[in-house]
Amino acid sequence: MTPCVSTLVRLTTGRRREERLVLGPRGGVITTATLRDATGWDALVTELGQPGLVRHGLRHTAMTWMADAGIDLHILQRVAGHQDPAVTARYLHPDVQAMLDAGTAFSAWWSVAGPEKPQLGIIEGGKNVS
């Protein structure tokens, strides 16, 4: 079992579907402030000598890696807590190989399931008359 699967199993076991997977330190929603305080973020980045490192950058990296791993957009949207899928789509950064693979998959589908090839001819009143 991969680490992601075992973590998701642990987080979802015994929970209702509408419950949050991860709660803040007081049982509520995780906010920027509670995350900063719970992780000791300010002291941590100072100690690392990386004061410009921001949590949202790590979130963006994690979401991008999930997208690169093939996690569906609607799942990413739920994980991120976004209302609008267009916001979540900002995390999608397909590489050249992903684009080539998408083109190959579409070409394979089109060659089998695509519409009949149109016949060339004169069209009058929306009908082919040749």
Q: How far apart are CA 101 and CA 114, in angstroms?
A: 18
**Greater pLDDT, 79 or 116:** 79
Q: What are phi and psi of 127, to 5 degrees?
A: -125, 140
Does residue 41 carry a pLDDT above 80?
Answer: yes
Q: Strand, coil or helix: what is 127?
A: strand
- pLDDT tens digit sequence for 53-70: 888 888 888 888 888 888
* Amino acid 97: pLDDT: 83
The pair of structure tokens assigned to 7 is 């973590």
**Domain shared by 48 and 7, yes or no:** yes
For the whole model, what pTM was predicted? 0.47
Q: Could you tell me if residue 37 is inside a domain?
A: yes
Supply the range of the domain harboring residue 12: 1-53
Q: How far apart are CA 53 and CA 41, in angstroms?
A: 10
- pLDDT tens digit sequence for 11-31: 788 888 888 777 776 777 777
**Domain shared by 44 and 59, yes or no:** no
Place of tokens 């007081």: 26
Does residue 119 carry a pLDDT above 70?
Answer: no
